[in-house]
Amino acid sequence: MGAIRMSVLISCITREVIHAETAQWMCEQPYPVDIVKGPYTIEHQRNVQAERFLATSHDYLFIVDFDVIPVPGTIETLLGMTEEDSYSIHVAPCMAVDESNRPHPMAYNDATKSGSTIVVPENPFVPVTYARQGTIDVDMTGMSGALLPRSLFDVRQKDRTHIMELAGTKLDDEAPIFGMVSRPWFHMEHDQEGHLRGTEDIWFWRKVQAAGYGIKAHLYLTADHIKLWRLGLL
């Protein structure tokens, strides 16, 4: 008997456009694509991504941002890695640049865990210094390139009606949609003055780790990033 094929939903958020290279990559994939569009905050769009995914029957949600171009075979490779290690969330990070405009994979470690005292309190994440090779354990990545299993998300009873309204169907009470990471799945943290102190991906990955999952960054799958965002929250 052959291996069971896992179904994947590709999801992309955008406020305006999707770059041509990203759109071409999505068109070439053998998986359905969901576009979450609108003039909303990124945390809102990320939560909608998860809700709309849960309203389908797909096993995995693959997130790609509107300006990211994954390498060929990314989803298939991540699915294989998930079969080998289901206790970790597997990510194909995209490229970023640091404060000196040096490129690196968008994968980070929390410097406070190593006891380092050279840390900006609001942003303790230090980018990995590895080249595009290997697989490493990290504390955070960007959301683009993450392959998220359905079982990761915790959907409480009160959320069921809303999610099924999105799907236009009813949900069997025994359906296994309960997971480990509770709402809000994505959240932007601000201080009392209203300044941003934590992005939605930091919030999400901290909850993932608190739920007992590891985070694996597959650097050999590092994607091209048309808009290279600078590191740091401030």
Does domain 8-225 sit in CATH 3.90.550.40?
yes
CA distance 225 to 62: 16
pLDDT above 80: residue 110: yes
pLDDT above 50: residue 174: no
165: left (phi over 0), alpha (psi -120 to 50) or beta: alpha
Residue among 56, 53, 10 nearest 168 (CA): 56
CA distance 31 to 62: 10
pLDDT (0 to 100) of residue 156: 56
Q: What is the tens place of the pLDDT at every residue in 60-76?
A: 999 999 999 999 999 99
Average pLDDT, the chain: 84
Domain ranges of the chain: 8-225
